[in-house]
Amino acid sequence: MEYKSSFFAGALMTLVPSAMVFCASGNQNNPEQVNDKTEKDSRPNILFIVSEDNGPELGCYGAPVKTPNLDKLATDGILFKNAYVTQAGSSPSRASFLTSLYPHQNGQIGLATWDYSMYQDNTPNMVNTLKESGYRTGMIGKLHVLPESAFNYDWWETQGSNFQRKNLARYAVDAAKFMKESDQPVYLQVNYPDAHDPFLPQIDGQPAKPLTGADVDPLPYFGITSDSLKQKTADYYNCMMRLDYWIGDLLEKVKETGEYENTVIIYIGDHGADMLRGKRTVYEGGVRIPMIISWSGGVKNFIYEGLVSTIDIYPTILAITGIKTPEYLQGKSLLPVINGSTEPVRKFLFTEYHVHSNHNPYPQRAVRNKNFKLIYNPVAGYENPGFFYTVGKKINKPDFYRALEAAPPLVREAYKRMQKPPEYELYDLRNDPYEWNNLADDPEYAKVCEKMKAQLKEWQVATSDPFIDKSIAEKLFLEIEASDEKKIEIKYHNYMDPHLIFEKEDK
Ligand SMILES: [Ca+2]
C-alpha cells in the first residue's frame, strides 16, 4: 500500500520517544548531575501561551483594539502574519500542535468534551519528548485532548477551562512559582480563557474601559452589520484587551524570576472567533490565528509573511533545544525564521474540519498557497448543520436575516453557499480576502483550480487521509447526524484510523 511508507503507521507504534532524543549537555535524567551546579542544563525554557477562540484581532495585526503587551512581545520578536491552526475547534487544534499531526492522523477530530479522542495513547507529543530530554513539564488551564494519559505533565494547575474567568491573576503567580522552583529548564503551557464565549465585557476591572457597540464595526469577514453584531464584536474586543492585560502580567512576573532572557515565548490563539464564518469552519476567520515568537536568541521586530501552521511549533522547539526531530512530524521547524530568514517554509498550507460537538459535522479539506484557497466538501449535496448551529444558537436568527437582506449579493450568496456547500470552493485571497466570490466554476481559473485539487490529493495521499475515499467522509457525517445532536459514542476509530485502514489493506 503506497500510503504506508509516507506515514508513521509502523513508526508510531514502535517508536519510543526516548529513542529520538539526544541531549547536548549530558544525561539530564541523572539526579546527581542535575543537582550539580557545574552541570546545570542551560537550554532555554519554553513558555507557550495559548488563548481561546481568537483570530489575529490584535493591535499589532492591524485590528482596532488596544493590546500593548502583545504588540510589545511582537516587536521584541517575530510576528507571523499568516499563521494557521489545522482545525477551528479547541481539541483538534490542541492535539495537532501537541503532536504535529493533522486531526485525521492523530484521531482528535472533534471535541474531547464530546468524547472524541486520539487513536492511540502512545502518540508521541511535545510534552513527553521534552520531559524525556530533561525538561520539567507544566500546564496551567485546560488540556482538552483525550486520552489525558498520553501527556506526561510534572505539574498541572487550574485544570479546567475557567470560562467564568475566575482569578485570572493566579495564572501569572503560579507560572512564576513553577519557573522559579525548577532546577531543570521548563516547558510551560499557559491557557487563558479569553476570548471564549461568553464574551464578558468586564471582569475584575478588566478591561478598564470596555468598548460598546457604538465604538466598533463588526469583524469585516462577517460581511453584514447590525447593532447586536457591533455589540458582540465590542465585547469580543473587550475579551482581547483583558487577555492582553493578563499576558502582560504574566510576562512581568516571569521577568521577576530572572528567567525571561533564557525563555522562548510563543503565543497563539487556538482558532478564530466564535461568531460568523469563524470557529467550526475552514474559512480564514476560523483557521487563521495570531502567532508571535519572542526569544533573546532570535531576531527582533520582524514580520514574517510566509505560511506557517501551529503544527510547526513542536519541530521548532525540538530544533531550538537540540532534540532530533522525528521524520513523520508534519510541521516544519521555524528556527530559520527565528534567525531572520524570509524564505517560505512551505508553498501549500492545509486545514480541515470534521465535527465539533455532535450538532455540527461537516467534513472539509482546504489548501491554500500564497494567493489562492481551495475548499473541498466531500459531502456536498447535504446541508451543513453547522450553519444553523451558529445562526440560531450563537447569533440571533431574525437579526441575522435582517442584516443579510441589506448585504451585497455576493455576501448573500456566500452565506447560502455556507449553508449548502458545493463540492469545491476557490477563492482569490489577494483580491477577495474574506472569501465571498467562489471561482471554482469560472473557466478563467480552471487551471488554478486543477492545480490546487492535485495538490490537495497529493497531501491526502501523503498523510493517509481516510477522506480520500469520499464514502468514509459520508459515513462519518451520517453517523454523527444519526446521533440527533446527542452525546453518544461515534465509532469512527473503527473506520478512520489510518493505522487500522492501511495495515489492513497491506495484508
Ligand atoms: Ca478554543
Mind listing the pLDDT tens digit for each residue in 396-416?
999 999 999 999 999 999 999
Contact 166, 158 (CB under 8 A): no
Q: pLDDT of 264-273, one tens digit each?
A: 999 999 999 9
Cα of 83 from ligand 1 centre, angstroms: 16
How many percent of the chain have pLDDT more than 90? 90
Per-residue pLDDT, 466? 96
Q: pLDDT of 321-366, one tens digit each?
A: 999 998 889 999 999 999 999 999 999 999 999 999 999 999 999 9
Cα of 428 from ligand 1 centre, angstroms: 28
Q: What is the average pLDDT across 498-503?
A: 60
Backbone angles phi and psi of 190, in degrees to 5: -115, 120
Cα of 438 from ligand 1 centre, angstroms: 28
Cα of 153 from ligand 1 centre, angstroms: 21
Cα of 84 from ligand 1 centre, angstroms: 14
Cα of 254 from ligand 1 centre, angstroms: 25
Distances in Å between the alpha carbon of 262 and those of 131, 179, 295, 390? 18, 11, 8, 43
Cα of 23 from ligand 1 centre, angstroms: 34
Q: Is the pLDDT of residue 25 over 90?
A: no
| pLDDT tier at 499, thresholds 50, 70, 90 | confident
Q: Is the pLDDT of residue 42 over 80?
A: yes
Q: Is the pLDDT of residue 66 over 90?
A: yes
Cα of 242 from ligand 1 centre, angstroms: 16
Whole-model pTM: value is: 0.93
Contact 78, 292 (CB under 8 A): yes
Per-residue pLDDT, 375? 98
Distances in Å between the alpha carbon of 21 and those of 126, 134, 171, 198, 338? 12, 10, 31, 42, 22
For the chain, the C-alpha Rg in angstroms (whole number) is: 22
Lowest-confidence pick of 20-24, 61-65, 77-81, 166-170: 20-24
Q: Which residues surround ligand 1, an ion (CB under 5 A)?
A: 52-53, 90, 270
Backbone angles phi and psi of 272, in degrees to 5: -70, 175
Per-residue pLDDT, 127? 98
Q: Is the pLDDT of residue 65 over 90?
A: yes
Interatomic CA distance for residues 224 and 435, integer angstroms:
14
Q: Is the pLDDT of residue 475 over 60?
A: yes
Cα of 51 from ligand 1 centre, angstroms: 8
For 251-409, list the strands marked E by DSSP.
263-269, 288-294, 302-309, 349-353, 364-368, 372-376
Cα of 95 from ligand 1 centre, angstroms: 12
